[in-house]
Structure 1
Amino acid sequence: MRTLLGLGEPNHVQRWYQGRNGADYAGNPPWCDEAITWAAAHSQDPGDYKAVCPKGDRAYTVYHAQDYQRLGEWHIGTADQVHQAMPGDIVFFDWSGSNDLGAVDHVGICEVNLGGGLLQTIEGNTSDACKRRVRDASVIAGFGRPPYRNGPAPTPPKPGKAPRWPGRFITQPPIMTGPDVRQWQQRIRDRGWKITVDGAYGPNSEAICRAFQREKGLQVDGVIGPDTWRAAWASPVT
């Protein structure tokens, strides 16, 4: 979804959705849920599409919300529930302020839970573009929790500030997996390295780790220890 930030309309997401689902979606239709579907289908983890779109492509937000309800992954958008939302959750909105699935009229993805009942989201088709927004329970009808294979996406740290080292030396063999691997891969990718963000520390991740260590003057061992972890966040990404 971050790759869509700033996208206006009409756009390639709408054309892509029309190509998959027919002429009924031609022109400049509402595309907030089309953007969620597009992002899931273009994720580097092929399992994300099934997690986010369990019943297939969705452009109608009500049907998408109902998909999560049927799977038991629906969380109502009351104040005491919103604080439990995680990055990667799919957030559904009702501008009239209800928590009725049948009244849902907009959707985005949770990027950061800011606390205090506030979520930072990325949404398509908001003021005719894809933008970051901050929303609260007054307009959140609820959120669905996709069963991502690697768990929820980590909350992005503030620029230049390293998140806490996960407490284990990430190396291979055997191939190590987990959200901490995915978090490090995403940060390295944000820095411009061509790395697959799949949550699995395989040979390519190790090779990039070694190149990164050489660049930073660290011990070149292909192991993500505390020094290599901190170095990934030592300066802001430009």
Structure 2
Amino acid sequence: MSVDSMLNECRKWINQGYKEGRNNDTLFGKWYGLPNQAWCDMWISYCASVSGNADSVGRAAYCPSHVNWFRARKQWSEYPKVGAIVFYDWDGDGLADHVGIVESFTDTTITTLEGNTSAGNAGSQSNGDGCYRRTRPRKVRQVLGYGYPAYAGNSIPTPQPKPPTSGIPAFPGRFLKLTRPYMTGEDVRTFQARLKERTWQIDADGSFGPATDSITRQFQARHGLEVDGVVGPATWAEAFKG
């Protein structure tokens, strides 16, 4: 089917203000065969199934499994797209905790349709009471990434990461890492600026302090690199890939 049919099915539950029963009692869990469980991904799977998009969106109850489904098909991106399935990682451990679908986006936010969340930030974001339209920040620390369903008639190609504005610089020759005193220089700034360009929340101040070390480790974990906080040739190349 199409991205429009998927979005319209999701909007139906938002517009009618669907709420769960006691102990995560939902028709989505019953449909999936896992009643009384967290149901955000079962809701996505249900909407895909009844709208004719099951083959494009997939079927899952466990968000990390759904992430792996998209990654195995090379339909995974750091960037939003209307109709993309967004996966959230609230605690920064590299595993998806929650899922929704992108309805629209700006340079700094995504507007999503989500099940099993809360109406606002006060309640649980991963195990709330109903279906809601949410506007959330596009923070890499919060957004794990986006699965791109190959909707029939309106396919979503996986984009390449944005290229650096001044070409791909060669590896600077020294390994960047957290030291005392902090390493500084244009090579540090260049690396920081590239990660910031790829939407990581990092300051391009040219100083490799604890914040840059933390972001570097998260970046390495996200891309299957050795997680040591050291920017060597492999980490540098991955940052400028695309």
TM-score using structure 1 length: 0.51
Deviations 1:112-158 (A, max 9, x none): 12x122110001100211101112232111001000012169xxxxx
Residue type at the aligned position of 1:49: A
Q: Is 1:105 matched up with 2:97? A: yes
Deviations 1:174-195 (A, max 9, x none): xxxxxxxxxxxxxxxxxxxxxx
Report the counterpart of residue 57 of structure 2 in structure 1: 52
Q: Is 1:3 matched up with 2:18? A: no
Identity %: 34
Q: Is 1:38 matched up with 2:46? A: yes
Residue type at the aligned position of 1:14: G
Report the counterpart of residue 28 of structure 2 in structure 1: 13
Question: 2: distance between equivalents of 1:67 and 1:132?
Answer: 25
Report the counterpart of residue 158 of structure 1 in structure 2: none
Consecutive unaligned residues in structure 2, runs of 5 or more: 1-9, 118-127, 157-242
Deviations 1:15-72 (A, max 9, x none): 1111xxxxxx13x2100000000000010xx3x110000xxx2000000011111111
Report the counterpart of residue 85 of structure 2 in structure 1: 90
Post-superposition offset of 1:93? 0.2
Question: 2: distance between equivalents of 1:68 and 1:149?
Answer: 16
Report the counterpart of residue 144 of structure 1 in structure 2: 147
Report the counterpart of residue 132 of structure 1 in structure 2: 133
Report the counterpart of residue 111 of structure 2 in structure 1: 120
Residue type at the aligned position of 2:103: E
Question: 1: distance between equivalents of 2:83 and 2:155?
Answer: 6
Question: 2: distance between equivalents of 1:145 and 1:75?
Answer: 7
TM-score using structure 2 length: 0.51
> What SS is found at the alignment partner of 1:14?
helix
Question: 1: distance between equivalents of 2:114 and 2:77?
Answer: 19
Residue type at the aligned position of 1:17: Y
Residue type at the aligned position of 1:58: A
Matches within 5 A, 1:225-236: none
